[in-house]
């Protein structure tokens, strides 16, 4: 009887130790809040997948919110995340200016903020992780002006609320504007695309084609989604494949159009590397260590410590090497519907 009682005590002590250890582990586990602007575009679907996968590898918990391109909703969602005992907040802002309020609320709660892919303006963001977005635009601008050095251009830019759109256009115009100033290039339509919506890009190009009797020689499309809308408008006039169109993000649909010949190029921004950088940084910040940086970017208030990754121009000549051999896209998917 005594032996049985001792055994029971030992088992109870072991159970208590296991419970205490588990509780301590749970208490020490890093929780990261993530706020993304949309899942309407393939690249943002991939961002969500890669961020969660990387967090799992690092043994971190993730609380993910999608604002569906609604700035007010994003503020509300982030307030909710801040109330859930997160250690770090990662935000890809829908509205670069409006998201500054989120950073202020996070800091009041003692939580640091990583500005992910898109810069949050006019605030004390703790870290900015993205690509060299001026370089993205430069790759687009150089490519299209090398391909079409003279003629009528449609120049589209991304959402006015997205600081990246400003940077992309800034880079592209380094190559387009000098030729426009000399008259070699005539910009017949120059317009931002609300919320990066392909249907908006399509409507803009439809209007430009009508106003210029279909005499369009090149289109600067800011990303693959808007490029799809542009090409849809061109196809209605049987101009797809005849008018070069830029893109970026290396979405599957963009890659397919490149091998089919209706889209000239895209820009590869490896979001796998972006996710790895973001979650590694979150882990270090949570441990009160300094995350890795390679520069600073001014957001209108401070020079934000930054990690900027390198984008790569992709066309039919290097699409296999950059997008397929790297494992970013599958060859059977890219070439699935290509007409022989």
Is there a contact between 165 and 200 (Cβ–Cβ < 8 Å)?
no
Q: Is 284 helix (H, G, I), strand (E, B) or coil?
A: helix
d(CA 46, CA 51): 8
At residue 14, the pLDDT reads 54
Q: Is 305 helix (H, G, I), strand (E, B) or coil?
A: strand
Render pLDDT for 61-87 as a digit per residue (tens, 0 to 9): 999 999 999 999 999 999 999 999 999
Q: Which of 58, 51, 63, 50 has the alpha carbon at shortest distance from 111?
A: 63
Is there a contact between 147 and 133 (Cβ–Cβ < 8 Å)?
no
At residue 22, the pLDDT reads 45
Alpha-helical runs (H) found in 237-304: 252-260, 271-286
Confidence at 28, pLDDT banded by 50, 70, 90: confident
Residue listed under structure tokens 């208030």: 301
Secondary element (H or E) of residue 267: strand 266-268
At residue 21, the pLDDT reads 46
d(CA 203, CA 188): 15
Q: Which residue has the higher pLDDT, 204 or 16?
A: 204
At residue 227, the pLDDT reads 98
Secondary element (H or E) of residue 224: helix 224-236
Residue listed under structure tokens 């990303």: 223
Render pLDDT for 272-303 as a digit per residue (tens, 0 to 9): 999 999 999 999 999 999 999 999 999 999 99
Asked if pLDDT for residue 137 goes beyond 90, the answer is yes
d(CA 259, CA 218): 18
Secondary element (H or E) of residue 93: none
At residue 24, the pLDDT reads 40
- SS (HEC) of 26-71: HHHCCEEEEEECCCCCHHHHHHHHHHHHHHHHCCCEEEEEECCCCH
Percent of the chain with pLDDT over 90: 89
Percent of the chain with pLDDT over 70: 91
Q: Is 126 helix (H, G, I), strand (E, B) or coil?
A: coil
Confidence at 188, pLDDT banded by 50, 70, 90: very high
In the sheet that 185-192 helps form, which strands lie side by side, from edge to edge?
185-192, 151-157, 218-220
At residue 337, the pLDDT reads 77
How confident is the prediction for the chain on average, in pLDDT?
Answer: 93
Confidence at 340, pLDDT banded by 50, 70, 90: low
């Amino acid at each position: 009887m005594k032996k049985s009682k001792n055994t029971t005590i030992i088992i109870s002590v072991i159970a208590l130790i296991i419970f205490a250890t588990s509780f301590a582990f749970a208490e020490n586990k890093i929780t990261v809040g993530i706020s993304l602007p949309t899942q309407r575009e393939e690249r943002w679907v991939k961002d969500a997948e890669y961020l969660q996968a990387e967090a799992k590898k690092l043994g971190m918990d993730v609380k993910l919110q999608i604002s569906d391109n609604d700035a007010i909703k994003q503020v509300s969602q982030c307030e909710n995340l801040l109330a859930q005992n997160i250690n770090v907040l990662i935000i890809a802002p829908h509205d670069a200016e409006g998201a500054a309020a989120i950073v202020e609320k996070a800091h009041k709660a003692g939580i640091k903020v990583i500005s992910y892919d898109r810069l949050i303006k006019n605030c004390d963001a703790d870290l900015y992780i993205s690509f060299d977005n001026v370089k993205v635009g430069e790759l687009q601008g150089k490519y299209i002006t090398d391909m079409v050095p003279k003629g009528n251009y449609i120049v589209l830019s991304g959402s006015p609320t997205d600081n990246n759109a400003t940077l992309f256009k800034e880079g592209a115009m380094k190559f387009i504007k000098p030729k426009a100033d000399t008259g070699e290039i005539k910009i017949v339509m120059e317009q931002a695309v609300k919320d990066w919506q392909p249907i908006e890009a399509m409507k803009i190009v439809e209007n430009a084609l009508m106003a210029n009797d279909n005499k369009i020689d090149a289109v600067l499309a800011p990303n693959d989604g808007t490029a799809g809308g542009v090409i849809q408008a061109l196809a209605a006039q049987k101009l797809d494949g005849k008018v070069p169109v830029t893109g970026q993000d290396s979405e599957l649909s963009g890659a397919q159009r490149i091998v089919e010949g209706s889209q000239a190029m895209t820009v590869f921004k490896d979001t796998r590397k972006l996710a790895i950088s973001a979650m590694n940084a979150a882990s270090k910040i949570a441990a009160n260590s300094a995350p890795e940086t390679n520069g600073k970017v001014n957001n209108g208030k401070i020079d934000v410590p930054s990690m900027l990754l390198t984008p790569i121009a992709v066309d039919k000549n290097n699409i296999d090497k950059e997008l397929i051999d790297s494992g970013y896209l599958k060859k059977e998917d890219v070439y699935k519907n290509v007409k022989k």
